[in-house]
Chain A
Amino acid sequence: MACIEARHLRKAFGPTVALGDVDLTVNEGRILGIIGPNGAGKTTLLNAVLGLTSYEGELKVLGRDPWKSRDELMRDVSFIADVAVLPRWIRVTQLLDYVAGVHPKFDRAKAENFLAKTTIKRTSKVRHLSKGMVAQLHLALVMAIDAKLLVLDEPTLGLDILFRKQFYDSLLNDYFDGGRTIIVTTHQVEEVQEVLTDLIFINHGRIVLQCSMEEFESRYVEVMVNPDQLAAARTLKPLQERNVFGRSVLLFEDVDLAQISALGEVRRPSIADLFVAVMTKEKP
């Protein structure tokens, strides 16, 4: 079943087009990464999905129109925008009381269990927690909500590498169960590569690449080309060529693996490299 269905989704702020005619289907149980440069329209897309902004075109999230029924939708959707949004004045216990009091699918014991593994004190105010602790607290709340869709907009921004790793480990091990759908946007692409099942590149409000991770792996290869075969390799129309320690690394799309492996050492490309290749091609 489709968790998100968008047809001709459009959003403009005055003359600036934030989203131009986006078609998108996200099926249940997928972990979708939305990658794009700053100002590409990622947050606008997520805001439309979350009912935080109006839009033109058709959009259904879990069968509902997010703009018309945000409050109902939020029973089944959780959302971490970035760590700054938890109110600074609130105490941890008050936060637990409040979410337990308003959210029908919040399991307080689960949140308490998660918090017990951290150093967060129940009586602390959010303003006295470190940035990493605030992220842990928010994650504890979200993981205790039995949601169908989880939206993460730069969830690990400003966190150190230990917290970032722990964040995705917790999500994958204790939260994701195949029935849920997760959408994540991040600039730390290398950290989510192993996590994702689907991938979207977005630029200037348009989807410029859309594939599953299986497709990504079968479609794109990177070859560290032997110097004497560089000219031959270039005739195969690489997407991008770059230099690593004096050797040329060429990125290919849809090429014959047998033919290409004769040119040098074949590697799996990173999302980040493909992203750079696609975006530099987009530029002009």
Chain B
Amino acid sequence: MNAPNESRRSTITRPFYWSVWREIWENHSVWIVPAIVSAIVLLGSLASASYLPKRRQNALLLDEMHRRAAIEAPYDLAAIMLLITAFIVGLFYCLDALHGERRDRSILFWKSLPVSDLTTVLSKATIPLVVIPLVTFVITVVTQFLMLLISTAVLAPSGLAGTTFQSFNLFRESLVLLYGLITIALWHAPVYAWALLVSGWARRATFLWAVLPPLAIGFFEKVTFNTTHFASMIADRIVGFAPEAFSYSPHTTPLMTPGKYLSSPGLWIGLIFAVAFVVAAIRLRRYRGAL
């Protein structure tokens, strides 16, 4: 008598999928903040539109490499601003992810549902590692496309519109951006995982708990041994992806070097730390209730 009843009511559930949506519903900032930065960038390019023909004429006098750099510069700047925004948004998301649910006591509700701590923590880690990079990709490409439209419209009367496309290739730029986003996300994974762990552990002031211990270690090392190994290790964790994932030479656009990136020990050591922090955060959530 029980069996048909159960099969009727049992439906296919997707706890992970819905848990990721749950995070996006709660944290509008993961798309609103990049959208605001994009709006500022577009306003900026609209505001500077009147100088654009003059600037372009000057750029065309330069040799090819400098010309390309000058024409590409605003697009690169937009992308870099959105990448930095993504990192900040991801970091602050993680610092609150396992703290907010304890602060507002909703953890009691979430734990009353058949969703494991593993699923919950992984869905939260997915936000900075997958969702924010995807959102950043879409917003950056759309921003650059709109910048391209603005510049084309402004340059069309003077017949200079075509010169943009000789130097700037939105498709290639997007490919580099996607590659960049993936390499940055994986490189920063231990940073996000550390922030997640602290947000699950600290009772308050998650930002201070996440930032002060590394600062203290760096300070201690400098004072005691007068060395800066720890500080440079942290710095490498923030920006060290660049020399591994790209090869820079003066006056050319950076080349993607996935082979070098994938074989760099920094990537794998970082990922081992990231996994360890996430596992610790999963274990910790089991013991955690409302604050």
Listed in ascending order, the chain A residues whose CB lies under 8 Å from chain B are 47, 50-54, 70-75, 77-81, 84-91, 94, 97-105, 107, 146
B213 within 8 A of A: no
Question: Which residue of chain B has the shortest Cβ distance to A89 in the bound complex?
Answer: B26
**With the chains together, A103 CA to B10 CA distance in Å?**
9
**With the chains together, A75 CA to B6 CA distance in Å?**
12
B3-32 vs A, Cβ < 8 Å mask (1 yes, 0 no): 001000111011101110110011000000
**With the chains together, A84 CA to B17 CA distance in Å?**
26
CB distance from A67 to the nearest CB of B (A): 8
**With the chains together, A100 CA to B286 CA distance in Å?**
23
B9 interface neighbour in A53, A89, A104, Cβ under 8 Å: A104
CB distance from B252 to the nearest CB of A (A): 48
The 3 closest A-B pairs by CB, nearest first: A101-B18, A87-B106, A71-B116
Question: Which residue of chain B has the shortest Cβ distance to A79 in the bound complex?
Answer: B112
**With the chains together, A146 CA to B114 CA distance in Å?**
13
Whether B9 and A90, one on each chain, are in contact in the complex, defined by CB atoms closer than 8 angstroms, is no
CB distance from A80 to the nearest CB of B (A): 8
Whether A102 and B104, one on each chain, are in contact in the complex, defined by CB atoms closer than 8 angstroms, is no
Question: Which residue of chain A has the shortest Cβ distance to B290 in the bound complex?
Answer: A85
Residues of A within 8 A of B18 (CB): 97-98, 101-102
Q: A54-B287, A94-B25, A107-B9 are in contact. Are A99 and B113 (CB under 8 A)?
A: yes
Total A-B residue contacts, Cβ distance less than 8 Å: 90
Residues of B within 8 A of A88 (CB): 104, 106
B114 interface neighbour in A75, A89, A97, Cβ under 8 Å: A75
Residues of A within 8 A of B115 (CB): 71, 74, 102
Whether A98 and B22, one on each chain, are in contact in the complex, defined by CB atoms closer than 8 angstroms, is yes
**With the chains together, A88 CA to B104 CA distance in Å?**
8
Report the count of interface residues on B (CB-CB < 8 A). 32
Q: A90-B25, A99-B113 are in contact. Are A104 and B13 (CB under 8 A)?
A: yes
**With the chains together, A88 CA to B109 CA distance in Å?**
11
**With the chains together, A195 CA to B106 CA distance in Å?**
28
B260 within 8 A of A: no
Residues of A within 8 A of B111 (CB): 50-52, 70, 74
CB distance from B98 to the nearest CB of A (A): 14
**With the chains together, A46 CA to B162 CA distance in Å?**
71
Whether B21 and A98, one on each chain, are in contact in the complex, defined by CB atoms closer than 8 angstroms, is yes
**With the chains together, A87 CA to B112 CA distance in Å?**
13
Residues of B within 8 A of A103 (CB): 13, 113-114
**With the chains together, A236 CA to B111 CA distance in Å?**
51
Residue of A84, A103, A105 most packed against chain B (CB within 10 A): A103
Residues of A within 8 A of B175 (CB): none
Listed in ascending order, the chain B residues whose CB lies under 8 Å from chain A are 5, 9-11, 13-15, 17-19, 21-22, 25-26, 101, 104-106, 108-109, 111-117, 119, 286-287, 289-290
CB distance from A72 to the nearest CB of B (A): 7
**With the chains together, A169 CA to B219 CA distance in Å?**
64
Residues of A within 8 A of B21 (CB): 97-98, 101
Q: Can you list 5 A-B contacts with CB-CB less than 8 angstroms, sorted by A residue number? A: A81-B105, A90-B25, A98-B18, A98-B22, A103-B114
**With the chains together, A51 CA to B287 CA distance in Å?**
10
Residues of B within 8 A of A84 (CB): 105
CB distance from B217 to the nearest CB of A (A): 30
Whether A72 and B289, one on each chain, are in contact in the complex, defined by CB atoms closer than 8 angstroms, is no
Residues of B within 8 A of A98 (CB): 18, 21-22
Whether A101 and B14, one on each chain, are in contact in the complex, defined by CB atoms closer than 8 angstroms, is yes
| Extra contacts besides A72-B114, A85-B290, A90-B26 (17): CB < 8 Å | A51-B111, A52-B108, A52-B111, A54-B287, A74-B111, A74-B112, A78-B112, A79-B108, A81-B108, A85-B106, A85-B108, A86-B106, A86-B109, A91-B25, A98-B18, A101-B21, A102-B18
**With the chains together, A88 CA to B100 CA distance in Å?**
11
**With the chains together, A77 CA to B171 CA distance in Å?**
52
Q: A54-B287, A71-B114, A78-B112 are in contact. Are A101 and B104 (CB under 8 A)?
A: no
Residues of B within 8 A of A78 (CB): 112
**With the chains together, A101 CA to B21 CA distance in Å?**
10
Residues of B within 8 A of A80 (CB): 112
Residues of A within 8 A of B26 (CB): 87, 89-90
**With the chains together, A72 CA to B15 CA distance in Å?**
12
Residues of B within 8 A of A50 (CB): 111-112
**With the chains together, A204 CA to B47 CA distance in Å?**
71
CB distance from A202 to the nearest CB of B (A): 20
Residues of A within 8 A of B101 (CB): 87
**With the chains together, A97 CA to B11 CA distance in Å?**
13
Residues of B within 8 A of A74 (CB): 111-115
CB distance from A50 to the nearest CB of B (A): 7
Question: Which residue of chain B has the shortest Cβ distance to A107 in the bound complex?
Answer: B9
Question: Which residue of chain B has the shortest Cβ distance to A142 in the bound complex?
Answer: B112
Residues of A within 8 A of B9 (CB): 104-105, 107, 146
Whether A87 and B104, one on each chain, are in contact in the complex, defined by CB atoms closer than 8 angstroms, is yes
**With the chains together, A102 CA to B287 CA distance in Å?**
22
Residues of A within 8 A of B287 (CB): 54
Question: Which residue of chain A has the shortest Cβ distance to B2 in the bound complex?
Answer: A179
Residue of B25, B289, B290 most packed against chain A (CB within 10 A): B25
Question: Which residue of chain A has the shortest Cβ distance to B22 in the bound complex?
Answer: A98
CB distance from A162 to the nearest CB of B (A): 24
